[in-house]
Amino acid sequence: MPETPRRPVGLSGTRYGNRPTMKDVAARAGVGLKTVSRVVNGEPGVTPETERRVQEAIDALGFRRNDSARVLRKGRTASIGLVLEDLADPFYGPLSRAVEEVARAHGALLINGSSAEDPDREQELALALCARRVDGLVIIPAGDDHRYLEPEIKAGVATVFVDRPAGRIDADCVLSDNFGGAREGVAHLVAHGHRRIGFIGDMPRIHTAAERLRGYRAAMEDAGIPVEDAWMSLGATDPGRVRRAAEEMLSGPAPVTAVFSGNNRVTVTVIRVLAEQARRVALVAFDDLELADLLQPGVTVVAQDAAAIGRTAAERLFQQLDGTLVAPERIELPTRLITRGSGELPPAD
Amino acid sequence: MPETPRRPVGLSGTRYGNRPTMKDVAARAGVGLKTVSRVVNGEPGVTPETERRVQEAIDALGFRRNDSARVLRKGRTASIGLVLEDLADPFYGPLSRAVEEVARAHGALLINGSSAEDPDREQELALALCARRVDGLVIIPAGDDHRYLEPEIKAGVATVFVDRPAGRIDADCVLSDNFGGAREGVAHLVAHGHRRIGFIGDMPRIHTAAERLRGYRAAMEDAGIPVEDAWMSLGATDPGRVRRAAEEMLSGPAPVTAVFSGNNRVTVTVIRVLAEQARRVALVAFDDLELADLLQPGVTVVAQDAAAIGRTAAERLFQQLDGTLVAPERIELPTRLITRGSGELPPAD
DNA sequence: CCCGCATCTGACAACGTTGTCCAGGCCCTA
DNA sequence: TAGGGCCTGGACAACGTTGTCAGATGCGGG
């Protein structure tokens, strides 16, 4: 994605086009303004004859109700905002879709934006959405301080954090069991005889990355294996860096015999590197991949259910709006270990 | 994605929360309404001292400008709508992200919705977006009649169709060269000695599917190969159907020796089926896949550049809004044949 | 024939912002 | 010191809709 010049989110320029309003319709139909409103909204108390005249005028003028004005009057926008990291990431597509589906079921539209993992951009987006008066906000946090949302939440904007917890405020959040999933995945490798197990993850300032790392450490400790620094790579997930990290831990006198990959972006690079190795290196990856079962060997993964996460978050959001909920809660969804071969390879010393 | 109950897109319920308005800020700062507006919008003509007082009041009250009201007044929403088929589809993620990026560069937000390939839902969504007075609309059509948009376009809503052309109206559209790409892909198989080549595509009522089929036929005709009905499957792309179709054309006395797969959903199933076959069957697939190069053999694909398509469409949309454009145009973006092995397999008769 | 009631309709204010325009105060100059 | 111009600030209308409320109309019964 190319860097595009930034311009503050806001309005500019002049009015485009000229649309008929209810007033125009009323004039044409020879009725009052409110009668048009009644017809448009299907309210009772309009004679069939009057309704027909109004409907005709509507059709003739191509009138369409202006929901902006409606929003202003009613105070609700019937739209929710979704701030995520990158819509192009295969993990967020299904998540976003699930949120949209729930929103749709509640008659709401979805506005979304990508933070590109930039806390400032996350804040800018979230506040822009609040300025639009979205009824609720689903946020996949990039930053770790969300106090800027306090006035919004106080003002009634329903808010659910997803994938990573909110920072420095008390709010609903829906997470995967990153710790448990990673621990299970690494334990799986241990169970297949591995002791020198590498971990390649994202920057630990990202909650999921930190939790998965913690899971890795826990599993190793459970197995009584002291972890060596050379086995861990915690940093950016660009292919170059991951490749170097992988190659490094696969070389030397005591190379790792298995790798635990911390997320889907890391995984694709790791798979490439492993495919180039002479010896077979075991792999368990966090996040599922579309063709994981067709590779040789199939990739054993710790799968998150992105759709379930999105659905849960959105449902909770609307529960907040319904007033069903009282206290913020932290919901952790389980992960699922799917064995396909790569995680069951024995150590090749 | 589970089917969710439908509810018409619209507003309901009562106002949530109570937010401070400019009036409140003005009262607290002891200034006039318009002065607050000036400060909020960074307009000139306010003494530093007054500005400070206003800013204090804003911070104290947690005021945030209500963009709904602003929209109503200014007539522009600084938001564009994107109607696509399914956000969870890996082809649309990058496309959506590219549109968002361009929108962001123009200070606009992106509202998007999935049509789920349902024409009614497409229309419902598009009109809901128009009611929100989006400045522009990027549509990946599900239906083939878009006359319902005529009043909107006349009223000044910029509109660009993507991936498939508009139906029965004259509008900008940005497409891949589906015909050329498919023709090239099939010709590639012919060049490697194949004559019995299967085609598994989507329903021909979908423009891209029809074009790719046309490309297939053209390439076969170029090669002087009469196409047999048994070699073609044109229907839904659910795994079951695709699997049956593939297995059918791979059996019998004169099975196909190569398959051209019409889109990414078809491809994943076809790959599975081919992997189960005793003999090696060549494959060229329309649409690239994330791990295509890591499979055995690597999958030869005709790749579309989803990001470029999205970017082009969005840029054209904003050109419409700038008044730079005059007549609707049809833009076709080239595809790219990427050889990775599966398309270069010789026929195994 | 008139009253009461039910039904239908429309005038008007309000939502929160921005654009227009004018008032008042200040400073500078004659 | 009076007059003119400039700068700051505010009153008011307007954007297009919906909620409130009261007026108009029609009909049946007393």
- Tell me whether residue B4 is exposed, middle or buried, using C-beta atoms within 10 angstroms of its C-beta: 0 to 12, 13 to 18, 19 or more: middle
CB-based contact A294 B295, cutoff 8 Å: yes
The length of chain B, given as a count of residues = 349
pLDDT digits (tens, 9 = 90+) for A182-213: 999 999 999 999 999 999 999 998 899 999 99
Q: Is B236 on the interface with A (CB under 8 A)?
A: no
**B293/B273 same-domain check:** yes
Q: Is B349 inside any structural domain?
A: no
- The vertex-A42 CA angle with A36 and A48, nearest 5°, equals 70
Q: Is B190 inside any structural domain?
A: yes
Specify the DSSP element, H or E, that contains B261: strand B258-261
Is the distance between the Cβ of A31 and the closest atom of strand C smaller than 7 Å? yes
pLDDT digits (tens, 9 = 90+) for B40-66: 999 888 888 899 999 999 999 999 999
Q: Residue for token digits 């390649």?
A: A200
Instruction: Provide the residue range defining the domain that includes B238.
Output: 178-305
Question: What mean pLDDT do residues A331-336 have?
Answer: 98
Q: Is A8 inside any structural domain?
A: no
Q: Is A266 inside any structural domain?
A: yes
Is the distance between the Cβ of B14 and the closest atom of strand C smaller than 7 Å? no
Residue B4: pLDDT above 80?
A: no
Residues in Cβ contact with B52 at an 8 Å cutoff, skipping those fewer than 6 apart: none
The nt closest to A20 (CA vs C1′) is: D16
Residue of B nearest to A152 (CA): B62
**A27/A130 same-domain check:** no
**A154/A237 same-domain check:** no
At B40, the amino acid letter reads V
**A262/A283 same-domain check:** yes
User: In this predicted structure, what is the pLDDT of residue A6?
Assistant: 35
Tell me the β-bridge partners of A142: none
User: Which of strand C's nucleotides are less than 7 A from any protein C-beta?
Assistant: 7-20
pLDDT digits (tens, 9 = 90+) for A85-140: 999 888 999 999 999 999 999 999 999 899 998 999 999 999 999 999 999 999 99
A259: CATH? 3.40.50.2300
Q: Which of A7, A67, A88 is the closest to B94 by Cβ?
A: A88
Mean pLDDT of chain B: 91
Q: Of all residues in chain B, what percent carry a pLDDT higher than 70?
A: 95
| Contact between residue B289 and residue B228 where contact means Cβ atoms under 8 Å apart | no
Lowest mean pLDDT among A272-276, B42-46, B141-145, B304-308: B42-46
**B228/B255 same-domain check:** yes
**A117/A149 same-domain check:** yes
The nt closest to A19 (CA vs C1′) is: D16
Q: Of all residues in chain A, what percent carry a pLDDT higher than 90?
A: 83
Q: Is A10 inside any structural domain?
A: no
Residue B11: pLDDT above 80?
A: no
The 3-state DSSP class for residue B25 equals helix
Mean pLDDT of chain A: 91
B60: CATH? 1.10.260.40
User: In this predicted structure, what is the pLDDT of residue A22?
Assistant: 93
User: In this predicted structure, what is the pLDDT of residue B10?
Assistant: 40
Residue A13: pLDDT above 70?
A: no
CA atoms within 13 A on the CB side of B253: 0
**A171/A312 same-domain check:** yes
Q: Is A122 inside any structural domain?
A: yes
CB-based contact B155 A112, cutoff 8 Å: no
Task: Say how far apart CA B330 and CA B88 lie, in whole Å.
Answer: 27
Strand residues in chain A grouped as ranges (E): 79-84, 109-114, 136-139, 158-162, 172-176, 197-201, 232-234, 258-261, 282-286, 300-303, 330-333, 336-338
pLDDT digits (tens, 9 = 90+) for A164-179: 999 999 999 999 999 9
Is the distance between the Cβ of B40 and the closest atom of strand C smaller than 7 Å? yes
Q: Is B101 inside any structural domain?
A: yes
User: In this predicted structure, what is the pLDDT of residue B326?
Assistant: 78
Q: Is B14 inside any structural domain?
A: no
> pLDDT-based confidence at A8, cuts 50/70/90?
very low
User: In this predicted structure, what is the pLDDT of residue B17?
Assistant: 53
Task: Say how far apart CA B183 and CA B177 lie, in whole Å.
Answer: 10
The residue among B100, B130, B148 whose CA lies nearest residue B318 is: B100
Is the distance between the Cβ of B264 and the closest atom of strand D smaller than 7 Å? no
**A53/A152 same-domain check:** no
| Contact between residue B115 and residue B122 where contact means Cβ atoms under 8 Å apart | yes
Is the distance between the Cβ of B31 and the closest atom of strand D smaller than 7 Å? yes
> pLDDT-based confidence at B239, cuts 50/70/90?
very high
**Domain closes at, from B5, B36, B65:** B65
User: Which of strand D's nucleotides are less than 7 A from any protein C-beta?
Assistant: 7-20
Task: Say how far apart CA B202 and CA B205 lie, in whole Å.
Answer: 8
> pLDDT-based confidence at A12, cuts 50/70/90?
very low
> pLDDT-based confidence at B14, cuts 50/70/90?
very low
Q: How far is A153 from chain B (nearest CA, A)?
A: 9
- The sign one gets for the Cα dihedral A323, A325, A331, A333 is negative
Residue B193: pLDDT above 50?
A: yes
Q: Is A17 on the interface with B (CB under 8 A)?
A: yes
Lowest mean pLDDT among A6-20, A331-345, B125-139, B210-224: A6-20
Q: Give me the CA A54–C1' D22 separation in Å, rounded.
A: 23
Q: Which of B72, B100, B107 is the closest to A72 by Cβ?
A: B72
The residue among B63, B50, B109, B49 whose CA lies nearest residue B82 is: B109
Q: How far is A223 from chain B (nearest CA, A)?
A: 33
**B167/B199 same-domain check:** no
Tell me the β-bridge partners of B110: A112, B80
**A225/A166 same-domain check:** no
CB-based contact B76 A18, cutoff 8 Å: no
**B297/B311 same-domain check:** no
Residue of B nearest to A297 (CA): B295
Q: Give me the CA B73–C1' C19 separation in Å, rounded.
A: 9
> pLDDT-based confidence at A341, cuts 50/70/90?
very high
pLDDT digits (tens, 9 = 90+) for A282-322: 999 999 998 899 898 999 999 999 999 999 999 999 999 98
The 3-state DSSP class for residue B39 equals helix
User: In this predicted structure, what is the pLDDT of residue B247?
Assistant: 96
**B96/B211 same-domain check:** no
Q: Is A224 on the interface with B (CB under 8 A)?
A: no
Domain count for chain A, please give it: 3
Kindly list the residues from chain B whose CB atom is less than 8 angstroms away from the CB atom of residue A342: none
User: In this predicted structure, what is the pLDDT of residue A325?
Assistant: 78
Q: How far is B325 from chain A (nearest CA, A)?
A: 15
Is the distance between the Cβ of B23 and the closest atom of strand C smaller than 7 Å? yes
